[in-house]
């Protein structure tokens, strides 16, 4: 009887350990990044599971070095960036079965100048952005929604009408009223895909103008904060978030944009889960501070046209995302008298 209990106990223990090994491996696979960035000369430690290991695809690769570290409880892969470039590696189970591909990028040591300066931002959208749909009352008293009926959606970008390039709101009004009730062929962009839609305008009873039932926008302006300046390339990054349309919430695809001299009028303090806001004015000029070339989820980027007044600050080395830790930190910002000041903050979650 005792022997049967002992066998049963050993069997259960083996099952528990097997489940633990498998779950541990899947957790490692799930948490393993698809891409790893390292500074030249820096190292990063990645935890291995008991069944999985990171292996270089090309054992002779000179960009990185992989080595294994062991202790009594776990094992790690130490990745060291040697020379600038990229290398491919594979996460393998039992050192045989490929599970996941990983790209390791080694980037040169980089220093930038932190800014914190308030700037005006003005952008011209690529094409014209659809921000709303509406109905039109015609002479017979009926309401029509031509654009909505043929499938237009908020967030669509109108690029062409009848093969004519669209850059401004008024371009649409002119073409629609020139063609009156003739069907128009629209080339639009939706979520990165190009689509063609035909729509027939109707005449509004209110003002006799031909309409298709769209609210559109061709430019966006506001005030934000310059994040950093690259002293070598004279490029900049700003905002720390993308510019989205206030009505549609869509990240705006830009054709051109500028940053301008700005003056802070007031600041709305942030609250938990509610970001703060800078209210200010900026000055139109033929000689802007810089030109915007990219609008991304992480901010706007471009090139400077002038010697920024914060260049007196010393360049600082950049940190990669895995180097950011919870705890006290400092930020630069402009909230009063157009003066860049240093503020204490606490990083609560990474």
CA 221, CA 226: separation in Å to the nearest integer?
15
pLDDT of residue 114: 93
Strand partners, 37: 105
The whole-number pLDDT of residue 258 equals 92
Give the per-residue pLDDT at 250.
82
Model pLDDT, residue 71:
46
Q: Quick one: which H or E segment has residue 31?
A: helix 2-31
DSSP 234: T
3-state secondary structure of 202: strand
HEC string of 44-96 equals EEEEECCCEEEEECCCCCCCEEEEEEECCCCEEEEEEECCCEEEEEEEEECCC
Q: For position 72, what pLDDT does the model report?
A: 41
Domains, the chain, in order of start with CATH, read 2-108 (2.60.40), 112-122+219-347 (no CATH), 135-212 (2.30.42.10)
Q: Other C-beta atoms within 10 Å of 53: how many?
A: 20
Q: How far is CA 147 from CA 14, 42, 71, 158, 246, in A?
A: 65, 55, 65, 12, 21
Per-residue pLDDT of the chain (350 residues; tens, 9 = 90+): 455 566 767 777 777 777 776 666 666 666 777 888 888 777 777 766 656 666 666 655 566 666 554 444 456 667 777 778 787 877 776 677 777 788 888 888 889 999 999 899 999 999 999 989 999 998 888 898 999 999 999 989 999 999 999 999 999 999 999 998 899 999 999 988 999 999 999 999 888 899 999 999 999 888 889 999 998 889 999 998 998 887 777 888 888 899 998 888 888 887 777 777 788 888 777 778 899 999 999 999 999 986 545 567 889 998 888 788 899 999 998 887 778 889 999 998 88
Tokens at residue 236, please? 């900049």
Q: Residue 237 has what pLDDT?
A: 95
CA-nearest of 239, 252, 257, 221 to 299 is 239
Prediction pTM value: 0.75
**Residue 264: HSE in the Cβ half-sphere, 13 Å Cα cutoff:** 18
Instruction: Residue 44: name the closest of 322, 318, 317 by CA.
Output: 322
pLDDT of residue 284: 76
Q: Answer whether 63's CB lies under 8 Å from 85's CB.
A: yes
Three-state secondary-structure class, residue 11: helix
- Whether the Cβ atoms of residue 291 and residue 256 lie closer than 8 Å to each other: yes
């Amino acid at each position: 009887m005792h022997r049967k209990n002992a066998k049963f106990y050993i069997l259960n223990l083996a099952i528990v350990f097997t489940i633990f090994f498998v779950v541990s491996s899947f957790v490692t696979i799930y948490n393993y990044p698809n891409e790893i960035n390292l500074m030249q000369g820096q190292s990063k430690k990645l935890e291995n599971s008991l069944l999985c290991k990171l292996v270089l695809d090309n054992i002779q690769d000179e960009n990185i070095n992989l080595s294994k570290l062991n202790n009594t409880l776990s094992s790690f892969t130490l990745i060291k960036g040697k020379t600038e470039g990229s290398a491919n590696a594979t996460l393998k189970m039992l050192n045989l079965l490929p599970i996941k591909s990983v790209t390791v990028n080694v980037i040169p040591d980089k220093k930038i100048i932190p800014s914190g300066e308030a700037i005006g931002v003005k952008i011209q959208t690529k094409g014209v952005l659809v921000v709303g749909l509406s109905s039109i009352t015609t002479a017979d008293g009926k309401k029509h929604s031509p654009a909505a009926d043929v499938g237009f959606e908020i967030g669509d970008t109108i690029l062409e009408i009848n093969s004519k390039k669209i850059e401004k709101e008024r371009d649409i009004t002119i073409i629609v009223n020139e063609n009156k009730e003739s069907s128009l062929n629209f080339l639009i962009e939706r979520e990165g895909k190009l689509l063609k839609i035909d729509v027939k305008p109707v005449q509004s009873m209110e003002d006799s103008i031909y309409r298709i039932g769209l609210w559109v926008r061709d430019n966006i302006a506001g005030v934000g904060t310059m994040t950093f300046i690259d002293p070598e390339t004279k490029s900049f990054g700003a905002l720390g978030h993308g510019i989205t349309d206030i009505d549609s919430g869509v990240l705006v695809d830009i054709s051109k944009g500028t940053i301008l001299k700005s003056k802070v009028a007031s600041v709305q303090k942030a609250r938990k889960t509610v970001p703060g806001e800078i209210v200010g004015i900026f000055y139109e000029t033929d000689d802007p501070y810089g030109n915007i070339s990219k609008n991304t989820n992480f901010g706007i980027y471009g090139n400077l046209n002038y010697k920024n007044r914060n260049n007196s600050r010393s360049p600082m080395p950049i940190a990669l995302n895995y180097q950011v830790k919870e705890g006290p930190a400092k930020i630069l910002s402009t909230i009063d008298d157009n003066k860049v000041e240093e503020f204490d903050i606490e990083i609560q979650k990474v």
